[in-house]
Structures are given as structure tokens and as C-alpha cells.
Structure 1
Amino acid sequence: YKDELRASLLTEQGYICCYCMQRISADRMKIEHWRSQDEYPQFQLDYNNLLGACQGGQGSPSHLQHCDTKKGNTEITINPLNNHRNCEDLIKYLATGKIYSDDETIDKDLNDVLNLNMQTLVNNRKEVLELVLKQLKSEYSQGNWTVAILNKKIQQWTNRQTDGRYKPYCQIVIYHLKKKLSKYV
């Protein structure tokens, strides 16, 4: 049953962690209970309460843990699967790779509960963003990024690839390209 569950969560989430968005696979993931099993035993087997998360530095010292491993039973403000509160609109990214929110509670969750500004994750996000911007610059000169070009690139990062997977850390790229796009509109 757990293998089927993992496969289903992976497919649904496009093989990226529900929190940090790094690549996950059946043998390198955890099944996260958004509402903790201890506090809410009635939701333990509720599929809508389950998420696929990375291993989050399991077994490492606390400051090197992130995502579900760091979160433990702590409740967080937004459920990544809740479509009513669009996470993407509440969460922002700096070009340095840092993730933040203007909402104080959510920002605290990102930093203290999930440790998403742990240096490794910040570096990974920054690297992905820099790579995409570098590709854009090599394909088109800086002043030549038309609305069509930016929209095409945003679609490439928003949509799943042919294998059904999202690109790891896709959200930082989408966020920054949309920001650039907004300057044209």
C-alpha cells in the first residue's frame, strides 16, 4: 500500500518535494502528514492530508534538517495542496535564492519550521535561476526578451516535462520570469 501511495504522490506532485521543490523519488522521499498523525489521528489515512516530501536531512543535526524532517508535528499556516490559498502568490524569492513571504506567520514557517533558507537550498535555487537567466541571455540579447519569449519560458517551467515531472526548484524561476514580464505589461 505504501509503494502505491508513494507512486501516486510522486505522480501528483511531479516528482518534487512539496516544500523545497527538490527532486524526489520513491526510494528517496517521505510521506508527510500535513496535519500531524499525533495531533489528528483521524486524518492519518486521509489522502488529502498526505504529501510527498524529501528526506530533509533526516539523521542530521537540527540546523541541517529541513522540510518534513524539521517540521515534525509543528503545524504550518498553508497547505501546499490547498488551491484556495495560492501558495505561489504568498511566497516570494530573492535572486540570491532566499525564499520569503510578506505574511509574517508564513515567513516564520518558511524559516523556522521548514528551514527553507538553509544554505544548501538557497544555493540550489540560486543556481537554477542563474542557469535559466544565463540560457536566456545566450539565446537572446538582454534587451530582446519579448513578452512571447518570457511567456514561453514561464510555460516551460510551469508545465511538466514529457516524463510527467516538474523541473526541480521551478517556482523561483517562474517567480522571477513573471516579475520580468510584469515590467512589459
Structure 2
Amino acid sequence: MKYITKQGAPRNYLDWCKANEGLNNEDYRCLQNPEKASLHETLIKEQGGLCAYTMRRIAVSSSHIEHIKPETLCRAELRGSDLDYNNLVACFPKEGMTNPFRYGAQEKGDWWEDDGRDFVSPLHKNCEPKFIFNLKGEVAPFKGDHQAKKTIEVLKLDHNSLIEDRERAIKEFIFGPAGDSPLSPKKVDQAIRAVCERNKSGQFREYCVAIKHALMEYTRQQKKAAKKKKHIQAQQKKK
């Protein structure tokens, strides 16, 4: 999960919300284009082109506007609260799209137990350290974190399809598309610091947090192997 820094709703969306405040239309279901389209595009840009839950690459054509706290619950509690920008993110898949691989927003649906206390939101500053990824693309809660464990379960972040996608992205990044051009130790160190930064177009790399964790594991493995090799060579010289 990649931490999302909220940067502000589009002006036409804010104007629409203000114009409908206190009216029957103060309801997310009444939101139409161009305001809805502007909102969708802003969320994707804000997230650097990644799904808020899975870190998959998304575009308008492959995503929908997601309420972290389900919109039906918001409306039941307070009129207009389903329009709160700080509860909105963009997620895979497109609204109405049938996806055979149920994970992320599609799997979460209207889940919201105990007012979401055990759900790790991508809007929480400490969301990234709660999860750990390995070189195989597998995800686990860091040090058994119970919120991360529940979130992995709710979003099915351990779905085989996601694991395979993350592993592919990790291997291509470290070893190259053909798998025969591993990064040098210097390049790995540089990548650990930079892989989660936006590019010139404002986009994040797909599965960037998983790649960063995998790079750190790869570095540990390489150092361990180098130490072992050095020890073996030292033993051979003694003979």
C-alpha cells in the first residue's frame, strides 16, 4: 500500500458541493460529469496513477471512485458525508467491470466492521510500514500487525494474481526484462532511495513499495552471500 497525500479536490467539484449543500441533491449519487470526471481524474493524479489499495497501474478507463468508508454508511449517518473528499480514492477496476480476480475494492465491497478500526487506510501516514513484501511478491503484516493482517484479508492483497504481478514487477526491476541484467550494488542502493518517488510525469512506479522492500531483501541476501564467499575463500587459503 502506498501512502496518499491529499492535495485538494477540484474547484468545480467543490463548487458543486457548495451549490447543493442542504438540498436533496447533496448526495454522491447525484454527482454527474463534468464534476465527477474532474474528481476521478484528480484522484488518479493525486495517487500517481496507482490503485489506492493494490498499487496496480490505473487510468480513468480501468478504475472507479471508491469510498473508503462505504458511501451507504456515510449517507445513513449524515446527508452529504458521502461527498467528503477525504474519504475518496481511485481504485481498480472500472465501475461495472467484471473482474474474475476478486481483490482490492471489488473484494472489500461494503465491508466496514467496528467503524473501520482494523482497516489500514492508504490515507494514514503510517500505512506503508505496516506491510512487508518479499522478492516473491508475497505480502505479510509487519511484525504481526493486526490491522495489516485484517486489511490483507479484507482486500485479498495475498491473492495469487496480485502476488504474480508484484513478483513480475520486482524481477523485471532488479534483473531486467530478460532476467539477465541484475542491478549493481550501487544501483540497488540508489533505487531503494528513489523507487517510491514520482517520475517527471508525476507517476509512481507500479508496485513501488513492494519493489523497495524486495530491493532491501535482495541487498541483505547479496551481502550475506558475499560474506559467505569471503569466509570460504579464507578457509581455502589456510589449507
Task: Tell whether the structures are fold-level matches, with TM greater than 0.5.
Answer: yes
Is residue 56–residue 92 contact of structure 2 (8 Å, CA) maintained in 1? yes
Is residue 53–residue 104 contact of structure 2 (8 Å, CA) maintained in 1? yes
**Are 1:109 and 2:151 counterparts?**
yes
User: Per-residue CA shift, 1:59-116, capped at 9, x if unaligned?
Assistant: 345xx21111110111251110122xx11110111222111112134213213x1112
Q: Distance in 2 between matches of 1:60 and 1:132?
A: 27
* Matching residue's letter, 2:42: S
Instruction: Give identity over the alignment, percent.
Output: 25
SS at match of 1:109: helix
Is residue 58–residue 65 contact of structure 1 (8 Å, CA) maintained in 2? no
- Aligned mate of 1:67, from 97, 104, 128: 104
Is residue 134–residue 217 contact of structure 2 (8 Å, CA) maintained in 1? no
Residues 58/115 of structure 1: CA separation in 2 closer, same or farther (3 Å cut): farther
**Are 1:96 and 2:133 counterparts?**
no
SS at match of 1:95: coil
**Are 1:81 and 2:123 counterparts?**
yes
- Aligned mate of 2:190, from 152, 155, 167: 152
Q: By how many angstroms is 1:181 displaced?
A: 5.6
**Are 1:2 and 2:36 counterparts?**
yes
1:34 corresponds to which residue?
68
Root mean square deviation, CA, Å = 2.4
SS at match of 2:90: strand
Q: Distance in 1 between matches of 2:43 and 2:169?
A: 24
Q: Distance in 1 between matches of 2:136 and 2:189?
A: 23
Q: By how many angstroms is 1:178 displaced?
A: 3.5
2:53 corresponds to which residue?
19
**Are 1:52 and 2:90 counterparts?**
yes
* Matching residue's letter, 1:50: L
User: Which runs of no fewer than 5 residues in structure 2 stay unpaired?
Assistant: 1-34, 224-239
1:171 corresponds to which residue?
209
Is residue 185–residue 219 contact of structure 2 (8 Å, CA) maintained in 1? no
Q: By how many angstroms is 1:133 displaced?
A: 1.8
TM-score (norm 1): 0.83
Q: Distance in 1 between matches of 2:89 and 2:208?
A: 18
Residues 177/153 of structure 1: CA separation in 2 closer, same or farther (3 Å cut): same
Question: Between Structure 1 and Structure 2, how many residues are aligned?
Answer: 174
Q: By how many angstroms is 1:154 displaced?
A: 2.2
Q: Distance in 2 between matches of 1:58 and 1:115?
A: 18
SS at match of 1:3: helix
User: Which runs of no fewer than 5 residues in structure 1 stay unpaired?
Assistant: none
Is residue 58–residue 69 contact of structure 1 (8 Å, CA) maintained in 2? no
